[in-house]
Amino acid sequence: EVQLVQSGAEVKKAGESLKISCKASGYTFSNYWIAWVRQKPGKGLEWLGIFYPSDSDVKYSPSFRGQVSISVDKSINTAYLQWNSLGASDSATYFCARKMGSSSGWYQNWGQGTLVTVSS
C-alpha cells in the first residue's frame, strides 16, 4: 500500500527557518515525481513545485520560486519542503503528493497534510 506520511504541525515565528517532511512507502521512491501543494485556511489548492528523485530534477511555480526549497533524501524515501525565513503569509496546510503518468499526469496519493502556523 502506498503511503505518504508527513511530519507534524509546526508553530513558528516570522523570520525562522523550517523544514517539513513527507516519508514515502509502498513504491519505488526514485521513480515518481513528488509535489508539494499549499492550502491556506478556507482557500483553494496551490501548486508549489515538484521533484524527481531519480535525477534530482526540480520545477517550481514562479509564485514560489526563491521562497521555498524542495529536496529529497533517497536513502530514507523522504521529501522535504524548506523555508529559510518564514513569513505570516506562509501559514497554511502543506500537502505532498505522488505524481502518476506522464508530464501531464495526476496526483494519485497524498500525504495527510502538515499545518504550519507562523506568528508575527
Question: Can you give the binding site for another protein, defined by CB under 8 A?
Answer: 35, 37, 44-47, 50, 59-62, 95, 97, 100-101, 103-108, 110-113
* Least Cβ distance, residue 57 to another protein (angstroms): 10
Question: Least distance in Å: CB of 51 to another protein?
Answer: 13
SS3 sequence, the chain? CCEEEECCCEEEECCCCEEEEEEEECCCHHHCCEEEEEECCCCCEEEEEEEECCCCEEEECCCCECCEEEEEEHHHCEEEEEECCCCHHHCEEEEEEEEECCCCCEEEEECCCEEEEEEC
**CB closer to another protein out of 2 and 120:** 2
Q: Which is nearer to another protein, 15 or 26 (CB)?
A: 26
Question: Residue 14 or 58: which CB sits closer to another protein?
Answer: 58
Nearer to another protein, 62 or 75 (CB): 62
CB of 84 to another protein, least distance (A): 22
Task: Kindly calculate the radius of gyration of the chain based on its CA atoms and give it in whole angstroms.
Answer: 14
